[in-house]
Chain A
Amino acid sequence: MNVSTLNQHLLQPVREVGQAVIFFFRALTGMKCTLFHAGETMRQVYYIGVRSLVIIMMSGLFVGLVMTLQTYDTLNRFGAGDSVSTVLGLALFKELGPVLTAILFAGRAGTSVTAEIGLMKATEQLDALDLMGIDPMERIVQPRLLAGLIAVPILTLIFNFMALLGGVVFAIFIIGMDSTTFWGNLQNNVDLWEDFGAGMIKAGFFGLIAGWLAVYFGWTAKPTGEGVALATTQTVIATSISVLLLDFVLSALML
């Protein structure tokens, strides 16, 4: 293997990671906390958070329904059908809620952020901002990064709520399980901090990752149509893989 292929296959990905990390810290150190920035962040929360509501709510509802259906069926074979709410609650709060929300978020909102920034770059809007003396890092990147950090935990909560609603609908209204048993088992077995809180910490990390990778790939996209297309694809792939990898690491740390 000669040096150039080694460079391409081994060093290039390492360099990419390094670039992404440097980019992240550049975005963090330039963080301004004025009223204007807060307003801009809220606007981005609308564009990437509120607009992801429909997909998150629909997915949550059906994940809850199918989880309850499958878990109830399996548990019933051991005569433990009553534990369905415990399994549903723990699986949702600790794993499925944060992970699925982050991956859906990457597909729905991360791609649009990448494409938006990539297109701004292709049409030289970022350079124009720079010429006007406005730091695009501070004006464009920061609000989107922060919006990811704010939106993903909120979307996770809404996902969990909808999935639990799906569980309630299936377990109580379709199977006819006793509602006191359903909620009682949930309350007895789900710990506010260790289970629910741990899931929310994960959601925060995932939000940061999703926001960061979306702005990073947009920022570094080649300023062509093809480059922007590639960057959006990379956002989804990189976010999904990092979320699943980080999920394992965080779970191992918090258990």
Chain B
Amino acid sequence: MKSSNQVEITAGLFMLLGIAALIFLAVQATDTGGFRASESYQVNAYFTNIGGLKSNAPVSMAGVRIGKIDSIELDKESLEARVVLSIDQQYDDLPADSSASILTSGILGDQYVELEPGGSPEPLQAGDRILLTNSAVVLEQLIGRYLFNSDKDEN
């Protein structure tokens, strides 16, 4: 039987190992919730159709992730989807006339918002509205349109 001292030291090490695993997993393998939210600013974008976009989906520019979707709701007046984008504070000088499109990563992947820079010298600020938006491409509508058009060609 090990001495009482050794047992306690090992038990202490075991608990430290658990804490180390906790910190590693929380920082490396999760979104680490509160940390990033504090260093970001929100802008709004209105889309006529968001397809399957969900909150927490990435917001990127030129393919680089710069933020995430904060919330999505239906605007009661315009009956459009109001998407709140939460953009990392370090990207605080994006042109004010940047446009937003909903794209899909891969053919069946998740949907995300891609910002395309405009040419305005004014920076995008918290609470601003992104005016130029492209809604999600809904596959069913696309197929429907294609079928409809090919019918017309034959006639």
Q: What residues of chain A have their CB less than 8 Å away from a CB belonging to chain B?
A: 39, 42-43, 45-47, 49-50, 53, 78-80, 82-83, 89, 93, 150, 153-155, 157-158, 160-161, 164, 183-184, 186-193, 195-196
Complex CA distance for A193 and B108, rounded to whole angstroms: 27
B92 to chain A, nearest CB (A): 22
Whether B106 and A196, one on each chain, are in contact in the complex, defined by CB atoms closer than 8 angstroms, is no
In this complex, the member of A47, A82, A153, A188 whose beta carbon has the largest number of chain B beta carbons within 10 angstroms is A188
Known: A43-B11, A191-B33. A79 touches B18 (CB 8 A): no
Whether B30 and A158, one on each chain, are in contact in the complex, defined by CB atoms closer than 8 angstroms, is no
Complex CA distance for A7 and B67, rounded to whole angstroms: 64
Chain A residues within an 8 Å CB radius of B21 = 154, 157-158, 160-161
Chain B binding surface SS class: helix
Known: A43-B4, A43-B7, A43-B8. A49 touches B29 (CB 8 A): no
Chain A residues within an 8 Å CB radius of B15 = 45, 150, 154
Complex CA distance for A195 and B31, rounded to whole angstroms: 10
Pick the residue among A45, A79, A161, A193 that contacts B14 (CB under 8 A): A45
Pick the residue among B10, B24, B30, B109 that contacts A50 (CB under 8 A): B10
Whether B14 and A78, one on each chain, are in contact in the complex, defined by CB atoms closer than 8 angstroms, is no
B69 to chain A, nearest CB (A): 11
Residue of A nearest to B15 (CB): A154
In this complex, the member of B31, B58, B106 whose beta carbon has the largest number of chain A beta carbons within 10 angstroms is B31
Chain B residues within an 8 Å CB radius of A79 = 106-108
Whether B56 and A158, one on each chain, are in contact in the complex, defined by CB atoms closer than 8 angstroms, is no
Chain A binding surface SS class: helix
Pick the residue among A42, A80, A82, A190 that contacts B31 (CB under 8 A): A190
Whether A188 and B11, one on each chain, are in contact in the complex, defined by CB atoms closer than 8 angstroms, is no
Known: A79-B108, A80-B108. A89 touches B29 (CB 8 A): yes
Chain B residues within an 8 Å CB radius of A188 = 31, 56, 58, 65, 68
Pick the residue among B4, B11, B24, B30 that contacts A192 (CB under 8 A): B30
Chain A residues within an 8 Å CB radius of B79 = none
B32 within 8 A of partner (CB): yes
Known: A80-B109, A184-B65, A187-B29. A42 touches B12 (CB 8 A): yes
Chain A residues within an 8 Å CB radius of B65 = 184, 188
Whether A164 and B10, one on each chain, are in contact in the complex, defined by CB atoms closer than 8 angstroms, is no
Whether B106 and A154, one on each chain, are in contact in the complex, defined by CB atoms closer than 8 angstroms, is no
A-B contact pairs, 24 of them (CB 8 A): A39-B8, A43-B4, A43-B7, A43-B8, A45-B11, A45-B15, A49-B11, A50-B14, A78-B108, A80-B106, A80-B108, A82-B106, A83-B109, A150-B15, A157-B22, A158-B18, A158-B21, A161-B24, A188-B58, A189-B31, A190-B29, A191-B33, A196-B29, A196-B30
Whether A192 and B32, one on each chain, are in contact in the complex, defined by CB atoms closer than 8 angstroms, is yes
B131 within 8 A of partner (CB): no
Whether A157 and B25, one on each chain, are in contact in the complex, defined by CB atoms closer than 8 angstroms, is yes
Chain A residues within an 8 Å CB radius of B18 = 153-155, 157-158
Chain A residues within an 8 Å CB radius of B32 = 187, 192
Whether A196 and B25, one on each chain, are in contact in the complex, defined by CB atoms closer than 8 angstroms, is yes
Complex CA distance for A218 and B51, rounded to whole angstroms: 58
B28 within 8 A of partner (CB): yes
A192 to chain B, nearest CB (A): 4
Contact code string B59-70 (vs A, CB < 8 Å = 1, else 0): 000000100100
B26 within 8 A of partner (CB): yes
B74 within 8 A of partner (CB): no
In this complex, the member of B25, B58, B65 whose beta carbon has the largest number of chain A beta carbons within 10 angstroms is B25
